[in-house]
Structure 1
Amino acid sequence: MRTSFTGHATEFAGLPVFGLSQSWTDEPPRLVPEAELPTEPGAVAWRIEAWEDDDGWDYGPSSMFRHAFEQFLELVDPAGVRALVIGSWGYAAMNAAPIGQLCAAADRLTGLRALFLGDIPAEECELSWICQGDVAALLAAYPGLEILRIRSGDADAAGRNGLAFDAVRHGALRTLVVESAGLSAGVVRGIADSDFPALAHLELWLGTDRWGGDTSVEDLAPILGGERLPSLRSLGLRNAEIADRVAVAVAGAPVVARLRELDLSLGVLSDEGAAALLAGQPLTHLRRLDLHHHYLSAEMADRLVAELPGVEVDLTEVMLPDEYDDRYVAVDE
């Protein structure tokens, strides 16, 4: 899946995104829709944001965002809302995500099935700076949630408001995406130790150690074993500085035999990792293998296509090492 950090999402969970933002000219601030309100709350993915330039640390979303979210719950029938896209909750580098406020609204957002927490482009906040919290609390609050997408840094500069994911069991979740410039081993282990019997798509952006990405292939072992993920059909281990080591582990991973899509894109995959993939278990059952943004030679790229007939192999965005022979993930800040 292609992801842009230069603008807001226009579609989420198969629905067009309808934006709501706080007016700066009204006192008190007023929530302003981008167009005429939809008559059916479930026909769109509602996007709520309240960006503001804030230079003080906080332990939660800004007061402006809290006010905007409460206005939203009064503006529409919350029971009819199926999808939410949460944009800036103040300045996201200084304010933790509105996880508590979202959890408190669960008894009103009874139809919520899809949540994107952190639709924040780079011009509003760099990915590695976005403060979150324990996002697993959202799964406990919303047992019917089917899609959860998180965009987050791992921890802020003061060590507070870091992304966390305590192990949970959730019977409805079908899609889990965590976009990060540096995903910690603790978060990955929490996800790996969770029980997701319905999860069909799992996507983790591992990032670099520069931004807290200390995940190892050993931390990924329960995911690659697949015992707690019986429905998994699409696996993405993306934006990885350890892409070659991930490829070696994937080559012998039991979960791969039942996948239809495998995504190792956005990282620093080289011929070493690609050769391990070809030398491992058969991959010809895959529908798609996404390797875009890679450091493969032309010869290895040709081998992949030739040895995986019938598989859609994405080898676009050929990268070259810099003058110091360094390679870079696609999103490293």
Structure 2
Amino acid sequence: MSLAHISRLHGLPVHVFPQPGAGDRPLPEAGAVAWKLVSGLRTDEEDFDEYWQRFLDTVDPAGVRALVLGGGAYGGDLDGCEPGETAELLAQAADRLTGLQALYLADLMFEEAELSWIVQGDVSPVLQAYPGLRELAVRGSTDGYGGGPGLEFKPISHDGLRVLRFENGGLPAQVLHGLSASELPALEHLDIWLGAEWYGRTATVEDLAPVLDGSGLPALRRLGLQNADIQDEVAAAVASAPVVARLTALHLGRGTLTDAGAEALLTGQPLTHLEELDLHHHYLSDEMAERVRQALEPHGVTVDVSGRPELEEGEERYVAAAE
């Protein structure tokens, strides 16, 4: 499954800041859209630093509420800034982007850079620079084979963050370690894509234990543990996890979930208090998918068991997003 560009962030429609020479069409109000910056890929017109500065000098930066960084800020396998350079640009502009509430790092799709080639670095300095940030999404991790600095999330205290998403084809264990050691008292929605070992996943179910315990995330209500080549193991751990009792939404899709993982969910703690259970992209039999629906839908739970891939003979199960 190829990832698409996002169309909305923080409830705002995404609007691309114009390239050089795009004309003098009126721009939206600074706080009316999520501004996307994408520039500087294989052109001599304007590198990303210049494009970034023109954005800050053109749009009222204090009014910007949501920001999406794409090509140029993150080049993947194309020309673009290194992740540390992008983090530094963001940190340096914190005294101007004083109203920023949402940030999406590396909105790249297949034609620009495969997911496994979007290299990230330490994203903690961004949170430190923006104490008012409410939502952070990070796409990418390493180059898929251990190259590049790799995604890091060092321990941090942040009182405002409510939504945190990691979208990647292979999650390093150190991200979960940093997350578990952080203080995020307002975090309501956590979405973690674990990915596949072949594409750099070193995170294990054991690394998820502090998240599943839930004591360090008192406000958590929506949890996604998705896109894993160990999805059955994840489901088995979730089945007895203390945090589940206070969740309203649980997303365990995009991965290699089979009847064994679904059976663990059905025989574990009750899930009838949930508002939604999302298992989209799975490998359940028709019988098991129906069992899940019948167990939960009569209690008002919205269940998604769509998107079962059809495997060719000899083809192995795969996660939805890796390359």
TM bucket normalised to smaller: over 0.9
Q: Give the CA RMSD over aligned residues.
A: 2.0
Q: Hey, which bits of structure 1, 4+ residues long, moved more than 6 A?
A: none
Choose which of 40, 48, 52 in structure 1 pairs with 2:37.
Answer: 48
Give the whole-Å Cα distance in 1 for the aligned partners of 2:200 and 2:144.
10
8 Å CA contact retained: 1:155, 1:163: no
- Give the AA of the match of 1:37: L
TM-score with structure 2 setting the length = 0.92
8 Å CA contact retained: 2:123, 2:152: yes
- Secondary structure of residue in 1 paired with 2:308: coil
Alignment of 1:105-124 (within 5 A): 105-124=93-112
Give the whole-Å Cα distance in 1 for the aligned partners of 2:32 and 2:48.
23
TM-score with structure 1 setting the length = 0.90
8 Å CA contact retained: 2:255, 2:282: yes
Choose which of 66, 86, 95 in structure 1 pairs with 2:69.
Answer: 86
Give the whole-Å Cα distance in 1 for the aligned partners of 2:66 and 2:242.
33
Give the whole-Å Cα distance in 2 for the aligned partners of 1:161 and 1:207.
18
Count of residue pairs brought into register by the alignment: 315
Alignment of 1:1-333 (within 5 A): 5-6=3-4, 8-23=5-20, 32=22, 35-38=25-28, 40-53=29-42, 64-89=47-72, 91-93=75-77, 95-97=81-83, 98-155=86-143, 159-308=147-296, 309=298, 310-324=300-314, 326-333=316-323
Post-superposition shift, 1:75? 0.4
Post-superposition shift, 1:154? 2.5
Post-superposition shift, 1:96? 1.9
Give the whole-Å Cα distance in 2 for the aligned partners of 1:151 and 1:305.
31
Post-superposition shift, 1:149? 0.7
Structure 1 unaligned blocks of 5 or more? 27-31, 55-62
- Give the AA of the match of 2:63: G
8 Å CA contact retained: 1:47, 1:87: yes
Post-superposition shift, 1:136? 1.0
Give the whole-Å Cα distance in 1 for the aligned partners of 2:146 and 2:247.
40
Structure 1 residues 129-150: Cα deviation after superposition (integer angstroms, max 9, x where no partner): 0122101111111011000011
Structure 1 residues 167-205: Cα deviation after superposition (integer angstroms, max 9, x where no partner): 111100000011000011111221122111100000011
- Secondary structure of residue in 2 paired with 1:307: helix
- Residue 60 of structure 1: aligned partner: none
Post-superposition shift, 1:53? 3.6
**Percent identity of the aligned residues?**
50
8 Å CA contact retained: 1:156, 1:162: no
